[in-house]
Structure 1
Amino acid sequence: MKGGQTKSDSIQTGNKLKSKGAGAGKRAKKAAKDPNKPKRPPSAFFVFMEGFRKQYKEDNPDNKSVAVEKAPYVQKAEKRKTEYNKNIQAYNTKLAGGGGNNDESDKSKSEINDDDVQSGENEDED
């Protein structure tokens, strides 16, 4: 291509990057809210929660804190997070250390077991 432009030349000189929208430095004025406008109706979840909260308070009048109900789930989440951190650290060291030395095949264990079962079924038929 003598004298012609390459794709990289046209990309560099063609389109310039724009900022986050036209007039990003200028703020558009919001329309004033009409105080007489009716509220939107609640979604089905909020309608459900309205009744559920009343029933829950009647069934559990002594329970003033959600933290008591939440505590076992917080403990489970922390346990899972520490397990994840251990796994991700081992994964990162494996990537940094060897990289492509995978002794295992691309098949999952269930696929390997399925292959063994299928081959065993064929041998029984003989």
Structure 2
Amino acid sequence: MRRPAITSISHKKPEAQSRVAKKLNTDPNVKKDKSRKKDPDAPKRPAGAFFVFMEEFRKMYKENFPDNKSVSAVGKAGGEKWKSMSDSEKAPYVAKADKRKADYEKALKSYNQKANGAGDGAKDDDSDRSTSEVHNGEIGENEP
């Protein structure tokens, strides 16, 4: 009885990588930038209704079980309680989440206006100084 020949797959991997790279029009040896840098000044996304609920639930759970240090136990208990709640019981958390979302959208809109308007020479609403006061020193410095 003849045994099948054992072949190594390692010699096929570079070919497979190059085929995939050709399909994607990329070089297999070049690593992609995983994510672009986030602006630390950008507003943070708001928590959803479940996470608003979990903020309060963690406090209650910690009071009832002060010896429990397990994060997963708190999460599991919170998830089970959330699933067992009716829509009317969830309503206050949904309302808080909606309010946070509206506040976030306002903050994001003003952030984007500041970020986009900075290059356009748009005037900052928070400034008490007039444009002539701001540019007054710049014009006089270069002239004799």
With normalisation by structure 1, the TM-score equals 0.33
Of structures 1 and 2, the larger Rg is shown by 1
Report the TM-score, using the length of structure 2 for normalisation.
0.30
